[in-house]
Amino acid sequence: MDSDRVRKLEARCIEEQPPACVATCPLHVDMRAILEKVKKGDFSGAFALYARMVPFPGIVGHICDHPCEATCRRQEAGGAIRIAAVERALVEESYATLRRTAQRLSKPKRVAIVGAGLAGLTAAFDLAMKGHRITVLEADAHPLERLHHDYDEAVLPRSVIAAELGALQTLGVEIRVRSRIAGGGGPLGLDTLIDDFDAVLLALGPGVARNFAPTVRLTDNGRIDIDPNSRATSHPKVFGGGFHGALGEVYSPIGSIHDGRRAAASIDRFLQGASLTAKRDDDGGEASCLYVNTAAQQAVSPVEPVDAAAGYTLEEAKAEAARCFPCHCQECVKACVFLAHYKTYPKRAVREIHNNLSIIMGNRKANRMIDSCSLCGLCETVCPTDLAMGDVCLEARREMVDSGHMPASHHDFALRDMEDSRSARAAFARHEPGHARSARVFFPGCQLTASAPGHVERVYAHLRDRLEGGVGLMVDCCGAPAHWSGRTALHTEVVDHLRQTWEEMGEPEIVTACATCLTMLRKHLGEAPVRSLWPLLAEIGWPEDADARAAGRTLAIHDPCTGRHEREVHVAVRDLAARLGASVREISSAELTTCCGFGGLVSFANPEVANATIDARAAERPEDYLTYCAMCRDNFARRGKRSAHLLDLAFPPEDGSDPAARPDPGFSGRRDNRARLKIRLLRNLWGEDMNDPELVWTVRIPDEVRADMERKLILVDEVTAVIADAETTGRKLKDRKTGLFIATLRTGPVTTWVEYENTETGALVHKAYGHRMNVEAKS
């Protein structure tokens, strides 16, 4: 993942884009953060944020023309936040806490500012804060003359203006009134200022300025020709500001302040000999591209102050601030347990993943995070810019595998399970008995065979019964675990083997029962025609003897995440359930379904995230769940959510037990089911006998111990092998107090330990555990 690609991916995530209020404000005052603090009653914290961006908080807090309110997204749900009114309450409460200290420069520059309006004084403030010596020259009798004319005492108390001017003087700004600057030389001439000062700002306000020619170039209408972005004039030491430059502009206090700030930034660059134009981001207000789902918000009306003239009380300001959502995108985080668990969002996660991959020495702290994404595609579906975290995580996993940095323990068990499902113990392919070729081949997948092998037999019989041309059977794994774990070479090996088998079968149409197999085979088997079992079943109908006991049952349907976009399948499954008489409720739309925790092998790399994912889904509806993915069903069952596979409804247990109460078979049970299915099918349909698995030792495992082994990913076969080895070789310990034996064996990449006792009916297992580290006595 090179840094260019990382930047592109990061740019796709808009979560860090400024919200509308911040983007629209010419000064980009962080109102979202300020309202968050006001909401909590932290007025001094809020005011500190406000005063960091606003040069004259007392004045602006009273008269800001608040362009932010026009773009506030709350207006789509009850009315825009009354930001200006909250600001007023804030500055009236906290203005007295304002403390400012200017930088100290060893060689301060001298800057003359002509005009003591908001633009000129903002420039004076900004440059004074940077440590320069500022002299303001004002033609009128008072600085900020306009504010005295334009605003009533009730709106803008004169004491506020006086306080702001006092603060400015405290910073060392000298204001000379009745000092009208003329053109040319002379004591108050522009040329003299240019000679006496390091830079000059003409913050003039509207009107012609012909007397400043030819020192600075004028426009055709007699105004100083000012570059709109840098505020430079034709004279390198002279800058222009105020509303002088434009015609017909509507007066805006915040616009004037922004104008002065931009001129000050240019003067500071000029004084440092820096470029006036490079990397500027102070163009003023702009539109926000942050996506906000306002439709999900309840409408709430603005708070009306009890005393309109006095404005909000602090409590009213808090209540109004509490109406701020605040604006965030986070559509994926709201939908994804994994992102929420890591308290992250794609932009940040992409950076963390990139950093993790780039570590040469030190700990790779994001390894488990990368392996905790289910690759389910929900984030991409809900993202306004279609950013797919699954693609990013998968790419990262491949890089980790290729560079030898993938932690072995994360996927090792799942890959060994895949190996089992592909081995001669479980996998095989045959044409239909009595047929030399197959028009179609049924591909039940490794999990339906493991979860409900009887269903595979029933469905296969039904397909043979209804379909012409021969229906072969291909019991194998689609390679999803290899793909999900980033093992590219292993995945290629699986796909090559599948293609070879498919070609040997005469290139039939492949019918998959599993949504993951459907996606994987379609994507990686290229030329092979692959279709889902469910639309085919909807075409040919259920068998005559399909059970009718589902009639009247209401279930909530959970679609598998790997099939979220398979519209045809969604329709077929609902139709098939209805034909069994079941009534089906939606949990979410099929497109917005979540993972069951198995996707991306999360349940192996991070059981906590996998369990939280399935529990969140299970809690969405009280009804029993209906699934058509064996893994989803078993994961719901494992977490205590009653759920039935669609085939459980059609072919319920013969003993009459409740199909929605079928337990998760567990990992050992899954392997056993696959192996026994193969033996049974080969014997019953093709008359072939396999050697039954050799039973070397009778081992009994109580339910609690078995459940504990499931959590620790220890198989019955492994425990049996440990005991068989101990009993054959005598290599074991004995606990003199309890009489228990303790034995161990390296089984694959794991050392398994078993504590057991020998009884008349075989070994009774008390405990099993394992570790990956190798230990041996020092010889």
Partner 1 sequence: MSAPVPPKDEVPDTDDLICARCDVPLTMGKVLASYMGQTFPVELPVCPSCGFVYVSEELAAGRMLKVEQALEDK
> Taking CB under 8 A as the rule, does residue 769 contact partner 1?
yes
* DSSP state, residue 365: T
Span of 188-196, 200-208, 681-689, 732-740 interacting with partner 1 by CB under 8 A: 732-740
CB nearer to partner 1: pick between 259 and 412: 412
With vertex at residue 443, the alpha carbon angle to CA 437 and CA 449, rounded to the nearest 5 degrees, is 130
* Cα 177 from Cα 187, distance rounded (Å): 15
Exactly one of 183, 206, 407, 607 binds partner 1 (CB under 8 A); that residue is: 407
Exactly one of 367, 374, 627, 643 binds partner 1 (CB under 8 A); that residue is: 367
Print the SS3 string covering 231-284: CECCCCCEEEEHHHCCCCCCCCHHHHHHHHHHHHHHHHHHHCCCCCCCCCCCCC
Question: Two tokens at 169?
Answer: 């003087």
Candidates 140, 105, 111, 139; CA nearest to 125 is 111
Q: Which residues of 449-475 are buried (b: 16+ CB within 10 A; e: fewer)?
A: bbbbbebbbbbbebbbeebeebbbbbb
* Cα 433 from Cα 30, distance rounded (Å): 73
Exactly one of 363, 434, 654, 691 binds partner 1 (CB under 8 A); that residue is: 363
> Taking CB under 8 A as the rule, does residue 55 contact partner 1?
no
> Taking CB under 8 A as the rule, does residue 191 contact partner 1?
no
**Per-residue contact track with partner 1, 323 to 362, x per CB under 8 A?**
---------------------------------------x
Exactly one of 616, 738, 745, 758 binds partner 1 (CB under 8 A); that residue is: 738
| All residues at 6 or more sequence positions from 606 whose CB lies less than 8 Å from its CB, including other chains | 368, 371, 372
Q: Position 306: which residue type?
A: V
CB nearer to partner 1: pick between 687 and 730: 730
Span of 84-92, 129-137, 495-503, 751-759 interacting with partner 1 by CB under 8 A: 751-759
H or E element that contains 769: strand 762-771
Q: Which of positions 486-515 make contact with partner 1 (CB under 8 A)? A: none
E strand map for 519-645: 530-532, 554-557, 583-586, 624-627, 643-645
Exactly one of 266, 374, 744, 747 binds partner 1 (CB under 8 A); that residue is: 744
Q: Position 446: which residue type?
A: C
Exactly one of 70, 306, 408, 707 binds partner 1 (CB under 8 A); that residue is: 408
CB nearer to partner 1: pick between 627 and 668: 668
CB nearer to partner 1: pick between 229 and 738: 738
> Taking CB under 8 A as the rule, does residue 742 contact partner 1?
yes
Compute the least distance from the CB of residue 490 to partner 1, in Å. Answer: 19
> Taking CB under 8 A as the rule, does residue 770 contact partner 1?
yes
Report how many residues bind partner 1 under the rule CB under 8 A.
48
> Taking CB under 8 A as the rule, does residue 413 contact partner 1?
no
CB of 206 closer than 8 Å to CB of 257: no
Q: Position 669: which residue type?
A: G
Candidates 22, 24, 49, 23; CA nearest to 34 is 49
Compute the least distance from the CB of residue 322 to partner 1, in Å. Answer: 42
Compute the least distance from the CB of residue 607 to partner 1, in Å. Answer: 14
Exactly one of 735, 746, 748, 758 binds partner 1 (CB under 8 A); that residue is: 735
Span of 147-155, 156-164, 670-678, 727-735 interacting with partner 1 by CB under 8 A: 727-735
- If phi > 0 it is left, if psi is from -120 to 50 it is alpha, else beta; for residue 233 that is beta
> Taking CB under 8 A as the rule, does residue 711 contact partner 1?
no
> Taking CB under 8 A as the rule, does residue 767 contact partner 1?
yes
Exactly one of 243, 428, 443, 753 binds partner 1 (CB under 8 A); that residue is: 753
> Taking CB under 8 A as the rule, does residue 734 contact partner 1?
yes
Within a 10 A sphere around the Cβ of 497, how many other Cβ atoms? 15
Candidates 120, 121, 130; CA nearest to 100 is 130
Is the peptide bond between 214 and the residue preceding it cis, with omega within 30 degrees of 0?
yes
Compute the least distance from the CB of residue 407 to partner 1, in Å. Answer: 3
> Taking CB under 8 A as the rule, does residue 760 contact partner 1?
no
* Cα 33 from Cα 37, distance rounded (Å): 6
**Per-residue contact track with partner 1, 664 to 703, x per CB under 8 A?**
------------------------------------xxxx
Span of 80-88, 169-177, 314-322, 723-731 interacting with partner 1 by CB under 8 A: 723-731
> Taking CB under 8 A as the rule, does residue 551 contact partner 1?
no
* Cα 668 from Cα 744, distance rounded (Å): 19
Span of 60-68, 449-457, 472-480, 733-741 interacting with partner 1 by CB under 8 A: 733-741
H or E element that contains 140: none
CB nearer to partner 1: pick between 295 and 775: 775
In DSSP notation, 449-490 reads HHH-HHHHHHHHHHHHHH-SS-EEEEE---SHHHHHTT-HHH
Span of 388-396, 405-413, 570-578, 624-632 interacting with partner 1 by CB under 8 A: 405-413
CB nearer to partner 1: pick between 154 and 775: 775
Task: Give contact residues for partner 1 (rule: CB under 8 A).
Answer: 362-365, 367, 407-410, 700-705, 729-738, 740-742, 744, 751, 753, 755, 761, 764-767, 769-779
